[in-house]
Amino acid sequence: MSSRERNEDIATLLYMVPFAVSGVYGLAVWFQQGISAILPSRVYLAVTQSPEVFVIGSLAVLAGVVMEIHETDATQRRAMVGSLGTTLQTIAVASVFFALVGTFYSNGANVAAAVGDFMGGKYNLIFPAIMILMSYLITVPLRFSALAKSKTLGLVLLLLVPVAIYEVGKRQIYVGLGLAFALLIIGIMTYILPEREKGAEEALARAT
């Protein structure tokens, strides 16, 4: 197995971390509270409102995205970015699907209670929203090259996204979300743009 194939496998595993962590944490809480035939609503809320689960899952996905971009040749990076956008959207859709399955399973046929728990979960809404936003930002052409001075800075800003939601959001949720979105936008532009420009310059050089 080549180094690239190994890194792709690692990235795939990282994309599965949010779901694996949610499942393991949910089972742990369920065991602590006593296993029952129906998943208790409080277990569902414990998972979807857990900042630790959210931070671990978000960091894992970010690590997978950075790894795939870093290990891809500059000439193939444009296609990789498009593929990553699809992957992030798939993660978002899967996240919403499992959240809906969980809330309806924990509330039985009580649609009103299921919808209430789904809307009250917080991170089950924030996580897919961030995935969709990230997919949009890395696939739509951007031209703010002045912000693209340091890949290290971009990586640091991306790592601060879940921290902003966790540390700031637990005090002021809307302030935390606003800060997180700002960090996400600037971080992606700072990290991705130098690679896009480098790839475009190399492709232009080969064409001429």
Predicted confidence (pLDDT) per residue in 18-45, tens digit: 999 999 999 999 898 887 777 888 899 9
pLDDT of residue 207: 54
Predicted confidence (pLDDT) per residue in 43-53, tens digit: 999 999 888 89
Which residues fall within 8 angstroms of residue 206, CB to CB, at 6 or more apart? Answer: 75
Q: What percentage of the chain has pLDDT greater than the value 70?
A: 67
Distance CA 203, CA 129 (A): 34
Task: Kindly state the average pLDDT of the residues 91-107.
Answer: 90
pLDDT of residue 151: 59
pLDDT at 76 over 80: no
Which residues fall within 8 angstroms of residue 113, CB to CB, at 6 or more apart? Answer: 41, 107
Structure tokens of 161? Answer: 């996204």
pLDDT of residue 20: 95
pLDDT of residue 84: 87
Q: Which helix (H) or strand (E) holds 121?
A: none
pLDDT band of residue 155 (cuts 50, 70, 90) is low
What ranges in 108-150 are assigned the alpha helix state H? 111-120, 123-139
pLDDT of residue 168: 64
